[in-house]
Structure 1
Amino acid sequence: MKNVLVVLLAVGCIFLLVAGNLHWKEKTTVSSAKQVQNGTVSQDVNNEEETTTATNSDIDVEELTKLTENWPKDAREQYSKAVEINKPFTILLAGSNALGMEENSWSNLLKKELETAYGGTVKVIVKTYDLTSSQFIAEGKLGELKKLHPDITLLEPFILKDNGMVTIEDSEQNITSIAGGLLEENSNHSLILQPSFPIYQATYYPLQVEALEDYAKRNSIDYLDHWSTWPNPDSEEIKQYLMEDQESPNEAGHKLWADYLIHYFIAK
């Protein structure tokens, strides 16, 4: 009988020890959870926030805004506001496949330079379409651009794709639709127009380019005349900057085009 009591006491002691340990762990876990919930244990989070704040405070808004000297006035103001509230300013490069998607295409060269100059204050997006301007509108592609909520858009409005396919009047109407759609999505949106690349001894195409520049003037839209940096389209020299089939610029042509745009978007 004595041995039985000893065994029962031993079992009882073990039970009490186990139960006590489990209760202590439960209290500790609940207490820790409450501390995290109440923000009393948040050293890592606080450090991350402090780092972010320090980084933001290091941004020189005035110096960055100086780089936008050539931009439309409204775009400059919106950029400054975006930087001050730590909101990325979205720059959209859109148009036909003349933008190129290769590593050395002007769109990628410009994108890299913008991201280097402006750092995390800008978000640069490139969208290309192998379509005429009428096809772009008819297929609802404008909706894709609107979803990006761009703050500024550099548009090459499918002008070379429209050649022989879409009248100048219809091209202009399509540009108006694109401009209106982007402005509808963002009331502070700024649009910049540019022609596609020049081609050798074209007849009707230069007239389209002249009409595009005139359209920009009539509608108070900034127009980038990068043709001024290319050789005369009627000269043999222009061929040095184009692929043999004239379907796109070659590497030298993309760089020439990119250099002009980089100088515009990053004033130094």
Structure 2
Amino acid sequence: MKYGRMIAIVISAICIILLISSYLTWKSRIDYVKGDIKTIHSTQTELTEKKDVILPKKEESIVLSRTFVEDSIKNADEKVQELLLNRLDAGVKVQLLIVGSSSMEEGAPGYATILTNALTDTYGDFVETTVLPFNGTSKQFIEGMAEIAWEKGFDLVLMEPFTLNNNGVVVIEDEHRHIQAFEQKVLEEVPDAVVILQPSHPIFQANFYLVQIDSLEKFATRRGYPYINHWSAWPATNDPALKDLLTEDNSPNSEGAKAWALSLIHYFTGK
């Protein structure tokens, strides 16, 4: 009996050992699997974090190629194209001055604002624009031009020479002399600068004003000034449709400002 009891105890002990061994083996496998899951999760997190780090940053400025600029300025005069490309090749910004009557502000927004925005959209900070409206005649403007911020060194100047304001006040020949005096000051600051002329806006049933505008274009041709004839974007001065682009006091309204601006945008950006 004692011998049989001992055998039973031994068998029971062996069974207990086998059960413990099986449990430990199972737990080890479970821990191993959990460890793999944790490792995979950690690896995915690291990859995600690394991916976030290497995401490219959004460009803050437009990178311009010479080909792009050449195509954008294809409608501009040769002098203007040459200056812009020279500045691009030199890696310096172009300083553009828009100067003329207060009509550039009319239309909410005026043509100067619309043009400035289009230049920024096209060229980024390559072209920096200064807008200078003046409510007076060309004579008054020349007398006060010393107050202009010449230290900026304007490379390009888009000038509306106050022809409508001059009507009946400043004779044609004097207006032309004022243009030349202004250009001389521009060239003193930047010897290779270019002055571009454009006429004041059309008005309905214009009379002597048409003679002034015609004379301005001929003067520009004779003296070699680039000239932007934005009148082609407006109805003729004897067309009642022109009044739809002007206010009651003959200033450009929003549609007039857009028509004016589109001609300038076409010239400077090719759009």
Across the two proteins, how many residue pairs are aligned to each other? Answer: 214
CA distance in 2, matches of 1:120, 1:227: 29
Aligned to 1:232: 236
Tell me what 1:132 maps to.
137
- Normalised TM-score (structure 2): 0.74
The corresponding residue for 1:257 is: 260
The alpha-carbon deviation at position 103 of structure 1 amounts to 4.5
CA distance in 2: counterparts of 1:220 and 1:145, whole angstroms: 26
Q: Using the TM superposition, give the Cα deviation of residue 80 of structure 1 relative to its aligned residue in structure 2, in angstroms.
A: 2.1
AA paired with 1:204?
F
Out of 221, 245, 248, the position equivalent to 2:225 is: 221
* 1:1-268 pair list within 5 angstroms: 58-100=63-105, 103-139=108-144, 141-144=145-148, 146-246=150-250, 248-268=251-271
In structure 1, distance between residues paired with 2:146 and 2:75: 27
Report % sequence identity.
33
Structure 1 residues 202 and 64, CA, compared in 2 at 3 Å: closer, same or farther?
same
Q: Is the 8 A contact 1:94 1:154 kept in 2?
A: yes
Retained in 1: the 8 A contact 2:61–2:125? Answer: no
Q: How far apart are the structure 1 equivalents of 2:74 and 2:260?
A: 20
Runs of 4+ in 1 over 6 A off after TM superposition: 54-57
CA distance in 1, matches of 2:262, 2:152: 26
Residues 165 and 145 (structure 1 numbering): CA distance in 2 closer, same or farther, change over 3 Å?
Answer: farther
| Cα distance in 2, alignment partners of residues 143 and 187 from structure 1 | 20
Question: Structure 1: how far apart are the matches of 2:200 and 2:62?
Answer: 40
Mapped partners of 1:165, 1:146: distance in 2: 28
Q: In structure 2, give the amino acid aligned to 1:162.
A: N
CA shift for structure 1 position 55: 8.5
Structure-2 change in CA distance of 1:57 and 1:158 (3 Å): closer
- 1:204 Cα deviation after fit: 1.0
Distance 2:269 2:64 in 1: 17
Q: Structure 1 regions of 5+ residues with no counterpart? A: 1-50
RMSD: 2.1
